[in-house]
A and B are shown apart, each in its own frame.
Chain A
Amino acid sequence: MENRPLEYDYTVAKMFMLTTIILGIVGMLIGVILAFELAFPSVNTILGSGLAEYTNFSRLRPLHTDAVIFGFTLSGIFATWYYVGQRVLKVSMAESGLLMFIGKLHFWLYIVGVAAVVVSLFAGVTTSKEYAEFEWPIDIAIVVVWVLFGMSIFGLIGIRREKSLYISVWYYIATFLGIAMLYLFNNMEVPTMLATSPAGETAIGNWWHSVSMYAGTNDALVQWWYGHNAVAFGFTVPIVAMIYYFLPKESGQAIYSYKLSLLSFWGLMFVYLWAGGHHLLYSTVPDWMQTMGSIFSVILILPSWGSAINMLLTMKGEWQQVAASPLIKFMVLGSTFYMFSTLEGPIQAIKSVNAIAHFTDWIVGHVHDGVLGWVGFMIMAALYHMAPRVFKREIYSKSLMAAQFWIQTLGVVLYFTSMWIAGITQGMMWRAHDEFGNLAYSFIDTVTVLHPYYAIRGVGGLLYLVGFLLFAYNIYKTWTSDKEVDAERLNQSPMGA
């Protein structure tokens, strides 16, 4: 043992890679079921009316969103942190027993949290706040998990050999701080057992039940400040952290402009927090706040495109790699989808566009071209890059990866195009009226018209899930392969045929 050279220790990274894949399958499978429930309502009772409580849309919907956000994406963030963090700080987890313990504790408490979330949401226990459905005991557990994540980040930074923090580390730190602040403030809640009703009743409701500390419009404002910034600090900031490491590393190209990465970082931090108001356009929040939400959303194009263009320009002169490597394809298309959805979002946040887009399927389409095309592609690419280095085996199949890429790309395209058409159709039909101001259509008219697009969306989602299963299989075969690689490749990941 004494003579063994020091190596990076990926124990915790591997654990989170596993949950990334498992929770990804769960979240996406539920998503596909939901899509078909919308297209074919009989799917709501597919397991019979006795179990309808557990299979209907409204019970499953938070399980889909939370499994994808807090399961798949968070696991991906943790897995890549425990990989990238060590490498850019040039320090191994093996060098600190304490950090290794914290890392493992972080993982196992996270698993406990996931189990509690799955059970409680299936049982219908929810605060009814979107993406913040967990009741107070789970919130407390999540805070503990998050603090452990923070201890891992700052602990590793504390024993580093590289004095400067690579740009990805900045983004991981911002993820930690951003989510901590958002989660704490949006989940300020009062357990009803502590409340007293005007009639003098005490200990109202179940012990786990709570109500938000904010009321009415204030609650909505805090909720969407949280909701939109969960997108910022869950789906954007940590994914940018990943691409700033994995694309240069896999392609062997230095970041096109490190300076641009720094100012994009501060731009993103400065602007993103103010954009949440665009979720509340034409609602009861003050008009200036709505306008501010719109303006900041439009300004947000600049820092977002700063990062995305920086990544695309990193490939300057090396575009043959995009053709040659499916792994690079995932990242370049991911970056392109990031540009695309960060242009689409600001357009939707403009008040006049929002008058048509709000509450329609166009919004759902927007979320999914971002999450499927950007977040999903980037996390899978990161895991593909990590696999040969973590398992010390070459990636099982390059052709399978290429097939997965095209299947999923087709899935994403079918998803967002169908939702564009559905959303704009919906928006136009809802507001259509005759010369006397009578509405031209009833709600059910829109439902009838949208049916084919809902079916296409279901097929798009299914294709993405199929691609994800191919990904899971590819990683599994890599893990269990006997094709060991002797020395770690500096750049391009080794791939079997």
Chain B
Amino acid sequence: MNIAELSAYGYFALTVFLVVVLYGYIYHLYTKKRDAEGHDYEEYSNMALNDDIGSTPVKPLSRDKEN
């Protein structure tokens, strides 16, 4: 097996792997519906709708921790 053939198999394997990952991700999104912290993914749309500087963030980042 020469390098070209090897890279072709490698490429095929990578494609299959990425397809599995992508479909796994879709399956995950639509079965769990919520992320690891319990937020419904659809709530994130509110980041655009309520985007005043004073609006309450969907998931606030505590600034105290940074200081």
Contact = CB atoms under 8 A, between A and B. Distances in A.
* Chain A partners chain B: yes
A259 B41 contact: yes
Task: Give the top 9 A-B pairs by smallest Cβ distance, nearest first.
Answer: A254-B45, A87-B51, A163-B59, A162-B57, A166-B47, A163-B61, A255-B45, A259-B29, A164-B59
Contacts of B18: 270
Contacts of B26: 263
A388 B27 CA distance: 42
B53 A92 contact: yes
B44 to A, nearest CB: 5
A87 B61 CA distance: 15
A146 B39 CA distance: 34
B8 interface: yes
Interface in B42-67: 42-49, 51-55, 57-61, 63
Contacts of B41: 258-259, 262
Interface string A127-158: 00000000000000000000000000000000
A170 to B, nearest CB: 11
Task: Summarize B's interface: helix, strand, loop or mixed.
Answer: helix
A163 B43 CA distance: 13
Range of interface residues on chain A? Answer: 35 or more
Nearest to A488: B52
Interface string A240-263: 000011001100101101110011
Given A7-B53, A8-B53, A258 B45 contact: yes
A90 interface: yes
Given A255-B45, A258-B41, A162 B59 contact: yes
A258 B61 contact: no
A413 B43 CA distance: 38
Contact of A249 (B30, B44, B49, B55): B49
Contact of A160 (B43, B45, B61): B61
Interface in A80-110: 87-88, 90-92
Nearest to A158: B66
Looking at B42, B44, B60, which has the most chain A CB atoms within 10 Å of its CB? B44
Contacts of B30: 259
B22 interface: yes
Given A259-B29, A262-B41, A263-B25, A163 B60 contact: yes
Nearest to A491: B49
Contacts of A162: 47, 57-61
B47 A288 contact: no
A216 B43 CA distance: 51
Contacts of B33: 259
A266 interface: yes
Contacts of B53: 6-8, 90-92
Nearest to B19: A270
Nearest to A314: B45
Given A161-B63, A162-B58, A167 B44 contact: yes
A182 B43 CA distance: 34
Given A258-B42, A263-B26, A266-B25, A164 B49 contact: no
